[in-house]
Chain A
């Protein structure tokens, strides 16, 4: 039975690549400019500004956020692949996984 899912693989690869790049850049900035280090996490609203101004913690934080989003993106892409291939039972299962993940986030923030 066919088991190739090129889009899911590409999603994971791109997610890994982007987060690796951001983490490596942030750690390099931390090593080269230790005076810029701070202990607290920057607010999400200032993330882009932090990356553009070479703030090490903001850059690393962005890498970690991309990393956390990567498996979620993979589930969304796999769901799309199942729909495209008319494998509706597996598409429903994938949607169920997404719903459960959403529920867990909601429960966690209560």
Chain B
């Protein structure tokens, strides 16, 4: 590997890190095609690098989001139980399904979800002033203990919210974990829109909570790839370092971008990635 290639990988990781922090993704969706298509890196090495980038994005962004209270730690840990379980099952099923089928299923799901995401549901399910503190006198039901609030610097308000649909959140967590085990991505691309549109979690909190979760999900798969010798230190190291830097900047930008713009951009990204995956699955050499 040349110095130029290492710098290219660092820049690619930097861009993926910014996008990952903005939209609750791990950056793997961008890293895998760059490594496999541009640098001709074997797919197993590309996925291993992607998983470590997912961990880097999650850890770097979550350290800030947890400190600011944007990531909902109780909700994140509750859903992590389901995500990790899904990742285990997904990893086992992956051995029995052809890659082309998996890619087409994932692309279909993403394309379908980008439509309601682009239309948006404007901040439903949460108030902008927390008067819910009085409720804490009585013992809280489990679902009520998953509520949260954070200060939105873009709108200059305190946003309070409560989870409106725990079964949907658990269901999408299992699915997202399964996809992570199957394809080596973080799973935020499914969790963020469902939490935002159907579970009453504001987009910023959904993205931050997803980011908080996906590192742990990725660790389970990353350890396996590492054990198999699929981690190439120079390729992975250069990519991950770029992601570290990009995700730090992305998490700062996310605090100053209006949620509506964030949602539109996220929907567009979902559609582009879905079309890219369709193209690859139909016409490419998918193993």
Contacts and interface: CB of A to CB of B under 8 A. Distances in A.
Interface string A49-61: 0000000010011
B77 A97 contact: yes
Interface in B143-169: 145, 147-150
Interface in B24-67: 52, 55-56, 58-60, 62-64, 66-67
B87 to A, nearest CB: 7
A71 B58 contact: yes
A63 B56 CA distance: 11
B55 A70 contact: yes
B241 A27 contact: yes
B142 interface: yes
Contacts of B84: 97, 100-101, 104
A8 B238 contact: no
Nearest to B140: A1
A99 B181 CA distance: 17
Nearest to A3: B69
B56 to A, nearest CB: 6
Given A16-B59, A26-B237, A104-B84, A70 B215 contact: yes
B226 A5 contact: no
A47 to B, nearest CB: 12
Nearest to A96: B81
Interface stretch (B107-115, B216-224, B258-266, B268-276): B216-224
Which of the four size classes fits the interface of chain B?
35 or more
B233 interface: yes
Interface in B84-117: 84-85, 87-88, 91-92
B88 A71 contact: no
A41 B237 CA distance: 13
A96 to B, nearest CB: 5
Contact of A93 (B71, B77, B149): B77
A97 B147 contact: no
A37 interface: yes
B17 to A, nearest CB: 12
A89 interface: yes
A30 B78 contact: no
A60 B58 contact: no
Given A16-B63, A70-B59, 6 more contacts: A1-B136, A3-B69, A23-B240, A70-B215, A100-B81, A108-B223
12 contacts: A9-B67, A20-B241, A64-B240, A67-B59, A68-B52, A68-B219, A74-B59, A74-B62, A78-B77, A93-B78, A100-B85, A104-B87
Interface of A: 1, 3-6, 8-10, 12-13, 15-16, 19-20, 23-24, 26-27, 30-31, 34, 37, 41, 57, 60-61, 63-64, 67-68, 70-72, 74-75, 78, 82, 87, 89-90, 93-94, 96-97, 100-101, 103-105, 107-109
Going nearest first, the 4 A-B pairs with the smallest beta carbon separation are: A12-B63, A71-B215, A108-B224, A60-B237
Interface of B: 3, 6, 52, 55-56, 58-60, 62-64, 66-67, 69, 71-74, 77-78, 80-81, 84-85, 87-88, 91-92, 132, 136, 142, 145, 147-150, 215-216, 218-220, 222-224, 226-227, 229, 231, 233-234, 236-238, 240-241, 244
